[in-house]
Every structure is written in structure tokens, then in C-alpha cells.
A = this chain, B = another copy of it.
Amino acid sequence: MQNFIFYNPVCVHFGKGQIAALTSEIPTQFKVLMTYGGGSIKKNGVYDQVMEALKSHTIVEFPGIEPNPTYETCMKAVEIIRKEGIDYILSVGGGSVLDGSKFMAAAAKHQGEDPWDIVLGKEPVQEAVPLGCVLTLPATGSEMNGNSVISRSSTGQKRAFGSSRVMPQFSILDPETTFSLPKRQVANGVADAYTHVLEQYLTYDVNTPLQDRWSEGVLLTLIEEGRKTLDDMQDYEARANFMWAATMALNGILAAGVVQDWATHMIGHELTALYGIDHARTLAIVMPSLMEVAKDNKRKKLLQYGSRVFGITEKDGDEDQRVLSAIEKTRQFYESLEIPTRFSAYKDLDIKPDTPQIVAKRLSDQGLTALGEKGDITPEKVEEILALCA
């Protein structure tokens, strides 16, 4: 096991009716900026529940945070935070609203010239407006970590930053608030969470049996409960189990002491930036091909994953065959969520034949020339991976 620090002070309120906890979680004297997205919370009752819980608070609303939240939108909120003297940010929505809110929280307190430097990692977050979260879409894990992904419209960039200072102080997870989601978003959430686990688990072994079993536990839960929640979109138990699994998939506990990959995310972000493909879908496209290209590095874990998650045993072939079976089962899992894993299925997007070269160059331009757990996913390997995605 590698040395590590684990710190996660997010207070999670989980279950039916938990939005009422807002009343005591945010001090009454605080002026609250309530951030949300396209307004679905006004249709599914979440907005009303939040307003009821915060009826003694002063609230300023900031709607309109888009999927893949942009620097440009967030900076408008930063102006309001400063002008209105906002004390607290309450993010009501999915991972995009929360990621945007994390960036505003840091940007509003930023002392340097351009808060974009935070996203670029040039300047650490020194201070942030405190924030809390009502989560309405299980997927990104943002509700229990300090990570955020922000896009910049003017330059077409999509970048991630992280700081414990932008962890939500609390996150409210009521599975019922997610019942009105479109099936596609739920499926994306399952795929997103699943891939988060693979990024932390499917690398090389440093003797972490507990972390491995917990990762496998999340994967199995996502496979089993993910199916159930898509088959019956109003099944509370299945949705609750999926929601908790998605949170656990990226709250740091699976990463403690292990070696991580994240190349699939880096490549995927570029596909979203270029073609607007849903984040989770980019992961489902890239991951199987990355597993294929990196299968020697990941060999031991691929065999363990195949065995423990998919029940692939020695009866199913020699080691090489079992590795390929584990990769194929992964592709089938994404496809079972009705998420196509090949560019050819995304016909309406006009994906350019030289996409592998374009993405490799975009990553190189960011200095990302040594991705993956061994740093051997070079621009050439990125091209190779994306060529396999055709």
C-alpha cells in the first residue's frame, strides 16, 4: 500500500425528505446564493422543498448553469457573490451545477488576476465561500469531493481542478428527487460512476486487498442496481443503492493507497470539448479501447476484475483470453445502458476521421504527454486508443 492522506469532512444527509435538513445546516443569518441549472427543479418539486426549508433565509437565485459548466457563466455568479455579499452557496442540481458552484466559491475569494489560473492549477485555492449541495443526479461524485471540471467557451478548453477547500460542507441526497430524470441521464450516471471506479482500481497492484474489494463492491452494485433502476425508474431502493454507490465511487476512499489512472477522463474531456458528447459517453467510448492498449500494464487487475466482477474463470480460456473477455464484458456493460461505445454509432456528430490526431495534439498542447498509471500513454498511444474507438 502507498502512503496516503484521507480527509473527507462532507456531511451527507441521505434519504427521503432530507432536504428539510437545510434549515439547520445553513445559519439563518447567512445570505445564500442558490445555484441551479435549466429549471427542472421547478418541475419536480425540489425548488419548492428548498424554498420551504430556507424560508427564514435571504436567498439570491442564480439559475442557468449549463451541463459542462462554463467559466463565463460562473464569472457572472462571482460578480453577484461579490456585489451582494453572499455568505454561502447552495448548489441544487447535478454534478455540473455543483462543479460550477465550486469554481465560483473559489473564484469569488481569489486574490490573483484571473480565476482561470485556479482551473489551470497555476494557483492553489487559498479560500472559498462555504458551500452546500442538494444533489439531484447521481453520477459525478462531486457531492463528496473537492473536484470540479470547468469549460471555457472562448477557448474550447475543458479542465479539472481540485481542492479540499471547495468540498461541500454538506450534501443532501434524496433518491426521490432523481425520479424525474430522463433515462439517458440515469444511464450516463451509472456509466460515469462505473468508470470512476475503474480509473482507481484497474491499474497495477500495490497490495491493497481492501481497496480492491471495495472497488469491486461498487462495480457489482452499479451493474446490479444500475440495471434495476433503469428497468423501474420509480424503484426507491434501486435508485438509493445506485445513488450511494455513485457517491462512494469518487469520495477518495477507493483511491486511498492505490495507484490511479485517469487517462480515460483526460481523453474523454477532449471529446466533449470537441463534439459535445455527454461526459459519461466519452468514457464509455474510450475505456474499452484504453483497456485494450494498456492491457499489459493492467494484466493482473484485469484478470482479478474479470473473475470477481464478471465471474470469468479458468474454464473461460487462458489468461490472454480472459483479459479480452473482461474488456469485452466492460464494453457490453456500457452498451447494456444503451450507451454506444464506438464513434461509428454517433452518426449525427460528424466525428472527423483525424480525431485521434486532433485529441493527441490537444493533450500534448496541455503538456499531457505521459498519461496513465505508468505515464506511458504518450500522444502516440492516445492516437492508437482513439483509432480503436472507430
Do A1 and B210 have beta carbons less than 8 Å apart? no
- CB-defined contacts of A214 to chain B, threshold 8 Å: 213-214, 217
Do B1 and A12 have beta carbons less than 8 Å apart? no
Q: How far is the CB of A243 from chain B (nearest CB, A)?
A: 9
Q: Please provide the chain A residues from 252 to 292 with a CB less than 8 Å away from any CB of chain B in the complex.
A: 253, 256-257
Task: Say which residue of B9, B207, B216, B221 sits within 8 Å of A209 (CB atoms).
Answer: B221
Contacts A7-B12, A216-B213 hold; do A257 and B237 have CB atoms under 8 A apart? no
Nearest chain B residue, comparing its CB with the CB of A224: B209
Contacts A210-B244, A217-B213, A217-B217 hold; do A257 and B14 have CB atoms under 8 A apart? yes
A218 in the interface, Cβ–Cβ < 8 Å? yes
Contacts A214-B217, A217-B217 hold; do A241 and B12 have CB atoms under 8 A apart? no
- CB-defined contacts of A208 to chain B, threshold 8 Å: 241
A248 in the interface, Cβ–Cβ < 8 Å? yes
Do A5 and B9 have beta carbons less than 8 Å apart? no
Do B9 and A9 have beta carbons less than 8 Å apart? yes
- CB-defined contacts of A224 to chain B, threshold 8 Å: 209
- CB-defined contacts of A12 to chain B, threshold 8 Å: 4-7, 256
The bracket for how many chain A residues form the interface is: 35 or more
A240 in the interface, Cβ–Cβ < 8 Å? yes
Do A14 and B5 have beta carbons less than 8 Å apart? yes
Per-residue B-contact encoding for A224-240, CB less than 8 Å = 1, 0 else: 11000000000001001
Q: How far is the CB of A169 from chain B (nearest CB, A)?
A: 10
A18 in the interface, Cβ–Cβ < 8 Å? yes
Task: Say which residue of B207, B221, B241 sits within 8 Å of A237 (CB atoms).
Answer: B207
Do A241 and B14 have beta carbons less than 8 Å apart? no
How many Å lie between the Cα of A178 and that of B244 in the bound state? 34
Do A210 and B14 have beta carbons less than 8 Å apart? no
- CB-defined contacts of A256 to chain B, threshold 8 Å: 12, 14, 244
Contacts A6-B11, A213-B220 hold; do A240 and B1 have CB atoms under 8 A apart? yes
Per-residue B-contact encoding for A332-350, CB less than 8 Å = 1, 0 else: 0000000000000000000
- CB-defined contacts of A221 to chain B, threshold 8 Å: 209-210, 213
Do A241 and B210 have beta carbons less than 8 Å apart? yes
Contacts A210-B221, A217-B217, A257-B244 hold; do A14 and B18 have CB atoms under 8 A apart? no
A16 in the interface, Cβ–Cβ < 8 Å? yes
Per-residue B-contact encoding for A193-217, CB less than 8 Å = 1, 0 else: 0000000000000011110011011
With A3-B18, A240-B257 known, 17 other A-B pairs at CB within 8 A are A1-B241, A3-B15, A3-B16, A5-B12, A7-B12, A8-B8, A14-B256, A14-B257, A209-B224, A210-B221, A210-B244, A210-B245, A210-B248, A213-B213, A213-B214, A213-B220, A244-B257
22 A-B pairs whose Cβ atoms sit less than 8 Å apart in the complex:
A1-B14, A1-B15, A3-B14, A3-B17, A3-B18, A4-B12, A6-B12, A6-B14, A8-B8, A8-B9, A15-B257, A208-B241, A209-B221, A209-B224, A210-B217, A210-B244, A210-B248, A213-B220, A214-B214, A214-B217, A244-B256, A253-B253
